[in-house]
Amino acid sequence: MPVFDTPIHTNDDNLKKVLAQNLPVLLYLYDSRQKPDGAVADAVNTVARKHAGAVLIAQIDIATNPKTYQEYGRPTTPAVVGLAQDRFHRKVKSQADNVRPGDVRAHVAYLLDKGPLPTPAAKPAPPPANASGGKVEHVTDANFKQKVLNSKVPVLVDFWAPWCGPCRMIAPVVEQLAKDYAGQVKMVKLNVDENPVTGGQFQVRSIPTLMIFRDGRLLERQIGANPQAIRQLIENALQPIR
């Protein structure tokens, strides 16, 4: 039998052949219709290399393989199912949905009798009371202090105007970032034409200008429609204070 040091891509029709191999199998279920979780995918590739010859890692896209998705209880992806061979048939030894990289490693260790049965992850805590919940909020001169400077989470402020082409171009990026960082960072927009006081206070001379605030302090600013630079502002604001 060949040694596989990378995950095996399989489907509803071929999964039975994969499970017929005389090795424990970690089945990784993902959904190609959703934004991929790179950290989990990297963990799947890593355990495949590390434990080549001892365990098979098989991955299957539930978007095109509904039979397998249904068979294993329609889990929230990314999900893993640990399968081991007993005397007569293949059985589920462990299972988890909405997994993180550590879960992948823990389930492989359990399959190889090198660790305990992984416990289900605790439900995530609700977002802070003044987090945006994945939506972009419009703020004004009148409520800027309350909504931005007094926020318990970092706030990305998009200084814009309706006539500004680059501002309109970057708007979908800010909306997507609001979803990506829901519960961690609040995204707000401030129309500089209608709210000149705040724009003047923070010396906004060109738009779009994006600023990230934390604990009432301006941390960084980015001028221009650069999606990667804007994402980096957010990542920097989420780093621990040194």
Question: How far apart (Å, rounded) are the C-alpha atoms in residues 167 and 226?
Answer: 11
Beta-bridge mates of residue 189: 138, 158
Residues 189, 136 contacting (CB under 8 angstroms): yes
DSSP state of 201: H
The half-sphere exposure of 133 on its side-chain side, counting CA atoms within 13 A, is: 4
Residues 34, 55 contacting (CB under 8 angstroms): no
Q: Which residues are catalytic?
A: 164, 167
Q: Tokens 């998705």, residue?
A: 69
